[in-house]
Amino acid sequence: MTPFDQLILYVSRTTLFRSRLDRHLIRAAMVFTFFAFSIQKWSQYTAEMLVPLISHSPVVFWLLPAFGVRGAGYFLGTTETIFGSLIFLGYWSPRFGILGALGSILTFIGTTSIIPFLPDGWAQEAGGFPIMTLPLGFLMKDVLFLAASFYLLKQDLTRAAQETTRR
C-alpha cells in the first residue's frame, strides 16, 4: 500500500470525515445565500438590475407583467426568504428541509433557465466562448446551488424515511 493510500484510509476514518459536517456546511451555505440574496431583492436598485435577467427567463418572465419591477423583487425576495427559512428549519425537521430543498430546486431551475436565453452572454470582445460576461457569470453560480439543493433534498428525504420507519 502506498503512503498516499495509507493517508487516504487514515483521513477517511477521522471523526471529521465520518460526521455529517458536509450536510451541515451545505445547509448553512444555502441558508446564508438565500438570506443574503433575498434581502437585496427588496431594494429598487436590485429589482431594476434583475429586469434583463427576468425578462429572458422562460420560467419567471411572467413576474414583470404580473407584478411590475418592484413587485417582482418583492415576490422573489419573499420566496427566497421562505425557502431559506425552510432549509434552516431542516436542521431539526427533515420535512421542512424537504420543502425548502424543493423550493430551492424550483428557484435555481428558474435562474439557470435564463442562461441559454441571455443575449450577449459570451464576451465577444474577449473572443467569445468560454469567456462569460458578468450577467452570465453571475448566473453560473446557480448551477452549483441547484446541485446543492438536490443534495439537501436527498439528505432530508433519507432522514424523513428513517424517521418514518422508526415509528
Cell of 156: 432530508
| Predicted local confidence at residue 121, as pLDDT | 83
- Mean pLDDT value of segment 146-160: 98
> Residue 123, SS3?
coil
Quote the cell numbers at residue 32: 446564508
Contact in structure between 126 and 137 (CB atoms under 8 Å): no
CA angle 135, 140, 143 (to 5 degrees): 150
pLDDT of 112 strictly over 80: yes
The CA distance from 155 to 34, in Å, is 19
Q: What confidence tier does 21 reach under pLDDT thresholds 50, 70, 90?
A: very high
| pLDDT at residue 36, rounded to an integer | 96
Percent of the chain with pLDDT over 70: 100
Q: How far apart are CA 143 and CA 3, in angstroms?
A: 36
Q: In angstroms, what is the C-alpha Rg of the chain? A: 19
pLDDT of residue 144: 97
Q: Spell out the residues 6+ positions from residue 15 whose beta carbon is closer than 8 angstroms to its own.
A: none
Check pLDDT > 90 for residue 29.
Answer: yes
Rounded to two decimals, the pTM is 0.89
Taking the C-alpha atoms of residue 104 and residue 87, their distance in angstroms, rounded to an integer, is 9
Q: How far is it, in rounded angstroms, from Cα 48 to Cα 66?
A: 15
